[in-house]
Structures are given as C-alpha cells and as structure tokens.
Amino acid sequence: MSTLRIQRIEAKAFKAFKHLDFKLDGRNLLAYGANGSGKSSLYWTLYTFLQSAQKEPTDVAKYFDKDRPEHLLNLNVTDAERALAAITVTLQNEDASNCPAFTVSQTQHGTQANPDIRKGCLASDFVTYRILFNFYHFRNSQPIDLWPVFESEILPACNTASVADMLGLWTYLKGADPYGEIQRLSERGLAVKKRYDEFDVLLKKFKTALSEVLATITIEAQRFYDLHFKHADVLPIQFGVVLRNPDSLFDRAAHSFDWPTIGFEVRVGSDTLSRPHTLLNEAKLTQLALSIRFGATFARLDVSPLKLLVLDDLLISLDMGNRMKVVEIILGPTFAGYQKIILTHDSGFFEEFRRSIGDGHADWSFQRFSKPNAETGITLKEDKSAIEKAEDYLNGQSLDEAAINIRKAAEATVARFRTGTVVATEDFVGLTKQLNSAKRKLLEKIPAQLYEQVLKDLPQAIKQHLVPRTDVGLSDVAGITSEQKTEIVRLRLKLNDVVSNTHWQMMENAKVVDQVLETTARVLNPGSHGGETPLYELEVRQALELIHRLERCLS
C-alpha cells in the first residue's frame, strides 16, 4: 500500500485563520505558539477535513455557513472573505509525484466517500489535553463516567464486525428517543409493539458492539501501559473500561431510556480503587488516560495509506521528565507509520522535543505561529535553531550575529547536560561557569564507571590479579580456580575497554569543553558583548564546528 502524507494545508476564513497557506511537503510538524495563537485552529482544521469524508454534504456545509450555529468561520473577516471559506488539503505519495488536492466548503465536498481519506479518518488520532483532563476531572464524591469522552472523541472512529458505524447507530438511537416519542403515542397495539421491537434489536446490537469495543480497548491499553509505564510501579496496576449499565439503557416496562455509563476501573496490587481520581496523582492518571486513549487507536487496527497523529498541548499536566518519556514513545516504533503534528505553547518543551528528534531533523518541519497581520492573519513561520541561525548569519557575513547564536547554542547544550533540560531557571549561570561545571561532571564519571562496571562486588582474591604487577600469566598463579581465571580474563577485557574507550572518550569530551572555553574568550564573549575586539570569519567558523562537536559529546 502506497503511503500518503500531507503536502499542503490551506484554510480560508476558518477558525483563527484568515488565509493559512502552509507547505508541509510530507514531513512531520513541530509547532510552537502562545495560547490563542492558532494551534487549536490547526488541530480543528485537520480534524474537520478528515471527518468530512464520513459525513453527508449538509453536515459539512454547516461548518462554513455563517447562519448556522455550528459554523467554525473566522469572525474577523469581511463577508466577501467569509463567502470563500474553505479547507483544502493536498496529499502526496511516497515519491511526491502525485499530489491531489481535496476541498471542503459550504458548496464543495471533495472528500465525500473518498476511500483513502475515509480510511485516514479511522486510522488517525487527534488528542488534546482536554481529553485527558476529562478522564479524571471529577469531584471526590463522583464516580468516573467516561461516556461523554467516548461519545465525542472515540466513538466516531469505532467499528466492529457487526456494526460498521457505531456513531451513526448511536445517533439514530438517540434520535429515535423511545422515551420521548413512543411514550407520547396515543395508539396501542401492534404498531407500538413493532417500533419497540425494532428499537430493542438495534439497541442490543449497539450494546454488544460497545462492550466488544471496550474489552478490546482494555486489552490494548493494558499492553500499552505495561510496555511504556509499568517499570516505575511499586505494585502492579491493572485497569480498564467497562459498560456499567447495559441492562438499564432501555427499560421497556418503565418507558425509560438511559445513556451509557462507562466506568474507569483501576486495581493497584490487591486493592480495587472505586474512585482512582481521589487516590492517584495526576502524572499516574495521565499515564492511564494516555494508555486508554492510545489503546482505542490500536484497538481499531485500521490499515490506511494516510495516518495522522495530531497532538495539541497534550502533556501540559506532566513535569518535563514524564513529558519526555511520552516523547520517546511518540518518536519510537509505536507511531512509526504516522505523520505527526505536534502543537505546544511551551517553548522549553518545544526545544526538548526538537533535541530528542536527533538525526531525524530532515523529516520534520519546525514552525512558530506568527502574530496575525492585516493581509493573511495568523501564519506559520519557520523556527530555526540557534545553530541554524548562526550558519545563516555566517554565510551572510554577519559575524557578530553568528557569534551571538553560537553562544546561545553553547549555553543551551551545556545547560541541558548539567540539568537534564533546556527549560530556563530563575538563576542565571554564565557560560564559562557552566562549561567548567560540565567538565567536572564529565571527569567525575571516570572513577564511578570504573567502580560500577569493573570493581563492584569483586572478591578480593580476584581483585589482586586483575591488573598484575608483573608479566606473570594467570596460568602460573596458584590458589585460584579455573572459574576465577575465566572471570579475571573477562574483567581484564572490561577494564581495558573502560580505560581505553569509555574513559578515553570522556577525556576527549573534556578537551572539547576546554577548547570551547578558549574560544569563549576570543569569539563568543566579544560577539555577545561588543567591544573593540574584531571577529574573523575563520575563527567564527571554527567556533561553530566546536559547538557541533560539543553537542555530540554532551548528548
């Protein structure tokens, strides 16, 4: 199956966009923007586009009709601009040779029943922090009911062997409304019985399918959790989702119709938590919610040429350490087949995510949402790293600006090595002090590694023969067994590796830090603080190469 990816996104008079025209060229997207900058608008642009393939033309047109309460039109455009409101997405195949464009608007429904986009809708995943928040945002006295989340976020993409469109069936059941409509019927007899019977059959079909879906999601969610989060647990955690009221959805005798209630069941060790939101911390609840949400994705097992993973400020409730665990999952094999759209308002997280991509930068587009202008409104603007900016300035012969950005790159690299994150702290630490601290941290690891990898738990009888004082071979040493001789040989090889490779590399890394310290006084400080000292292109280029080496040795 040929893979499809988004090449271009165009949105006119839709949500916060006046006229967005953005070329993604099949890459993944990492975009930063402050709250209200347009992140969620891009999220809903892509969501509306994919969902349109499953809708009737009238259900799509309402989003572009200013007279309909459901419309998603930009409020700050003219009537003439609003009349042109549309979403156009261009797709490309693996070699970018075929790029069909699909448009949805008040009068166009270019995605209708398109098999690739319809499959893409079922196979893609859209997750925002609000979804996770709604998994556990209940008062202490309230039991958790996940039905509202399932109805709006998960049910639209659910299907089983017996029910191809669960949301459509549920929408019909709600519309049939036996409690409101049938109860009001004045006639009795076969006509009423037939309608009750028809409703009963469809409702039982829906209940069976929903229970099957929940059981499959539970299996996939537990598998996802065990793979990615279980290692940190003191006690084993089992959890799942279940339909709590299958028998009371429709009480024919009482003429009552209740909506489904979905319970969130968690077991820690031997204890069942009836209200997990009152006993577990937010980080653990977020891990469980993520597992259920992604479990719903993997439960579908949809094969599709187009698969999107769109995340809008997904991890704001987690600290940076837990966020980066999820980033590892997103960048790992679990979501390898997805085109990823990652949106965040946290600049520190943006930089950490960019760093985590490593050598895969060519597959990503890094963007920032710009402030709106009168002509185009909100747009996306390429966000270059300090190193990339330094290279641009250097090629343009702006040596001072190049040196400033080289210094910024050095500060971020060393700060990350020292603290594990590039998130700014309240305390300013100068570059020279940070570099000296990084060098000490590198050198401190040398005896620790020698101990951990070679000497720890080593019996004294073996230790004295590990590095012999003479050239006497082990075959001439009395008092040790053949097993001990084998262990000594193994540890000698390990010691040789640690001293010759690991420690040697750390010493080389420390030398790189020394070289950066030297160039700080000559290039980075004059470039950052001005003064009479002139800068020379060769020195700035050498400084740039040094920072590249610094990033490699401190990563």
pTM: 0.74
Q: What is the dihedral of CA 475, 478, 481, 485, to 10 degrees?
A: -40
Confidence grade of residue 104 (pLDDT, cut at 50, 70, 90): very high
What type of residue is 170?
W
Confidence grade of residue 277 (pLDDT, cut at 50, 70, 90): confident
Confidence grade of residue 486 (pLDDT, cut at 50, 70, 90): confident
Q: How many CB atoms lie within 10 A of CB 164?
A: 11
* Residue 541 burial (C-beta neighbours within 10 Å; 0-12, 13-18, 19+): middle
Dmax (CA) of the chain: 109
Write out the two tokens for 381: 């603007």
* pLDDT (tens digit per residue) in 39-94: 999 999 999 999 999 889 999 999 999 999 999 999 889 999 999 999 999 999 88
Residue 14 has pLDDT above 90, yes or no: yes
> Is 13 strand, coil or helix?
strand
How far is 126 from 117, CA to CA, in rounded Å? 15
Q: Kindly state the average pLDDT of the residues 258-282.
A: 89
Confidence grade of residue 188 (pLDDT, cut at 50, 70, 90): low
Q: The dihedral of CA 317, 323, 327, 330: what is its sign?
A: negative
Q: How many CB atoms lie within 10 A of CB 28?
A: 21
Q: In what order do the strands lie in the sheet containing 101-105?
A: 17-23, 5-14, 86-92, 101-105
Q: What percentage of the chain carries pLDDT values higher than 90?
A: 30
**Is residue 413 within 8 Å of residue 550, measured between CB atoms?**
yes
* Residue 24 burial (C-beta neighbours within 10 Å; 0-12, 13-18, 19+): buried
* Residue 51 burial (C-beta neighbours within 10 Å; 0-12, 13-18, 19+): buried
Residues in contact with 24: Cβ distance below 8 Å, sequence separation at least 6, in sequence order:
5, 6, 7, 8, 9, 365
Q: In what order do the strands lie in the sheet containing 28-32?
A: 125-128, 308-312, 339-344, 28-32, 364-369, 380-382
**Is residue 62 within 8 Å of residue 114, measured between CB atoms?**
no
How far is 173 from 171, CA to CA, in rounded Å? 5
Rg (CA), the chain: 30
* pLDDT (tens digit per residue) in 310-358: 999 877 767 777 788 888 999 999 899 899 999 999 888 888 888 888 7
